[in-house]
Structure 1
Amino acid sequence: MKAKILLQIENAQVKYLGETIFQDLNFTWEEGQQWAIIGSSGRELTAFLETLRGTTHIPEGKISRPFSNDYTNQKNEEGRINSFRDLMAYVSQQFRFRNKSNLQNFYFQQRFNSSESDEAATVRELLTENSQGKSGNWTLGNVAELLRLTSLLDESILKLSNGETRRLTLALGLLSQPEIYLMDQPMTGLDVESRAAFGDFLKTIICKGIHILITTSPYEIPDGITHIAELGEGRISRTWKKGRDHFSPIQQRENPWDLSLLQTLVSTITPFEGRVIDLKNVSIRYGKKDILHQINWQVNSGERWLVKGKNGSGKSTLISLLIGENPQAYAQDFWLFGRKRGTGESIWELKKPIGFVAPELVRFFPANQTVRKVILSGFFDTMGLFRKTTLEQESKANDWLSLFKLETIADLPLNRISLEQQRWTLLARALIKSPMLLILDEASQGLDDSQRALFKMTIEKICAFSPISLIYVSHYIADIPDSVNKTLDLGLKN
Structure 2
Amino acid sequence: MFDLILSIQEATILFKAQQAFQNLNFQWEKGQNWAIIGDSGWELTAFIETLRGNTVLSSGKIERPFSKSYVEEKTNAGEVNSFRDLIAYVSQKYVFKNRSHIQNFYFQQRFNSSESEETVTVREYLLEVDPKLPGPWTIQKVSELLNLEPLMEESLLKLSNGESRRLAIGLGLMRQPKVYLMDQPMTGLDVKSREEFGEILKVISDHGVLVLITTSGNEIPDGISHIARISKNGVLKSWEKKDFHGTQIEPLNVPTWDWELLKSLLPEKQEKVDESVVKLKNVTIKYEDHTILDKLNWEIQPGERWLLKGRNGAGKSTLLSLLIGENPQAYSQDFWLFGRKRGTGESIWDVKRPTGFVAPELSRYFPANQTCRKVILSGLFDTMGLFKKVSPEQEALAEEWMKLFELTPLKDTVIQRVSLEHQRWTLLARALIKQPKLLILDEASQGMDEFQRKLFKETVQQICEQSDITLIYVSHYTEDVPDAVDKMMELSGS
Counterpart in the other structure of 1:6: 5
Shift of the 259–45 alpha-carbon distance from structure 1 to 2, 3 Å rule, reads: same
User: Shift of residue 250 of structure 1?
Assistant: 5.1
Counterpart in the other structure of 2:115: 116
- Unaligned stretches of 5+ in structure 1? none
What amino acid sits opposite 1:374 in the alignment? V
Superposed CA deviations along residues 64-95 of structure 1, whole A, max 9, x for unmatched, are 11110100111111111111111000000000
Counterparts of 2:293 and 2:467, CA distance in 1: 32
SS in 1 for 2:129: helix
Counterpart in the other structure of 1:431: 432
Counterpart in the other structure of 2:244: 245
User: Shift of residue 232 of structure 1?
Assistant: 2.0
Q: How does 1:165-314 map to 2 (within 5 A)?
A: 165-245=164-244, 248-249=248-249, 251-268=251-268, 273=273, 274-314=275-315
User: Shift of residue 368 of structure 1?
Assistant: 1.6
User: Shift of residue 21 of structure 1?
Assistant: 1.3
2:109, 2:115 within 8 Å by CA — same for their partners in 1? yes
Counterpart in the other structure of 1:490: 491
Shift of the 37–409 alpha-carbon distance from structure 1 to 2, 3 Å rule, reads: same
User: Shift of residue 417 of structure 1?
Assistant: 1.2
Counterpart in the other structure of 2:45: 46
Counterparts of 2:78 and 2:349, CA distance in 1: 58
User: Shift of residue 269 of structure 1?
Assistant: 6.9
1:267, 1:466 within 8 Å by CA — same for their partners in 2? yes
User: Shift of residue 3 of structure 1?
Assistant: 5.1
User: Shift of residue 378 of structure 1?
Assistant: 0.7
1:13, 1:61 within 8 Å by CA — same for their partners in 2? yes
What amino acid sits opposite 2:234 in the alignment? R
Counterpart in the other structure of 1:449: 450
Report the number of matched residues: 492
Counterparts of 1:361 and 1:270, CA distance in 2: 30
Counterpart in the other structure of 2:420: 419
User: Shift of residue 57 of structure 1?
Assistant: 1.4
Counterparts of 1:143 and 1:359, CA distance in 2: 26
Q: How does 1:60-79 map to 2 (within 5 A)?
A: 60-79=59-78
Counterparts of 1:340 and 1:271, CA distance in 2: 23
Counterparts of 2:469 and 2:167, CA distance in 1: 36
1:270, 1:468 within 8 Å by CA — same for their partners in 2? no
Counterpart in the other structure of 1:142: 141
Q: How does 1:295-334 map to 2 (within 5 A)?
A: 295-334=296-335
Counterparts of 1:491 and 1:234, CA distance in 2: 46
Shift of the 354–63 alpha-carbon distance from structure 1 to 2, 3 Å rule, reads: same
Shift of the 492–152 alpha-carbon distance from structure 1 to 2, 3 Å rule, reads: closer
1:134, 1:175 within 8 Å by CA — same for their partners in 2? no
Counterpart in the other structure of 1:84: 83
Which range moved further: 315-324 or 2-11? 2-11
SS in 1 for 2:242: coil
User: Shift of residue 298 of structure 1?
Assistant: 0.3
Q: How does 1:357-396 map to 2 (within 5 A)?
A: 357-396=358-397
Shift of the 109–272 alpha-carbon distance from structure 1 to 2, 3 Å rule, reads: farther
1:272, 1:337 within 8 Å by CA — same for their partners in 2? no
User: Would you say 1:19 and 2:3 are equivalent positions?
Assistant: no
Counterpart in the other structure of 1:37: 36
What amino acid sits opposite 1:452 in the alignment? R
TM-score of the pair, normalised by structure 1: 0.97
Superposed CA deviations along residues 160-205 of structure 1, whole A, max 9, x for unmatched, are 1111110000000000000000001101111111110001000001
Superposed CA deviations along residues 363-403 of structure 1, whole A, max 9, x for unmatched, are 11122211111111111111111111111111011101110
Shift of the 269–113 alpha-carbon distance from structure 1 to 2, 3 Å rule, reads: farther
Aligned-pair RMSD on alpha carbons? Answer: 1.5
SS in 1 for 2:243: coil
SS in 2 for 1:214: strand
1:251, 1:450 within 8 Å by CA — same for their partners in 2? no
What amino acid sits opposite 1:77 in the alignment? N
User: Shift of residue 246 of structure 1?
Assistant: 5.7
Which range moved further: 89-98 or 410-419? 410-419
User: Shift of residue 356 of structure 1?
Assistant: 0.5
SS in 1 for 2:117: helix
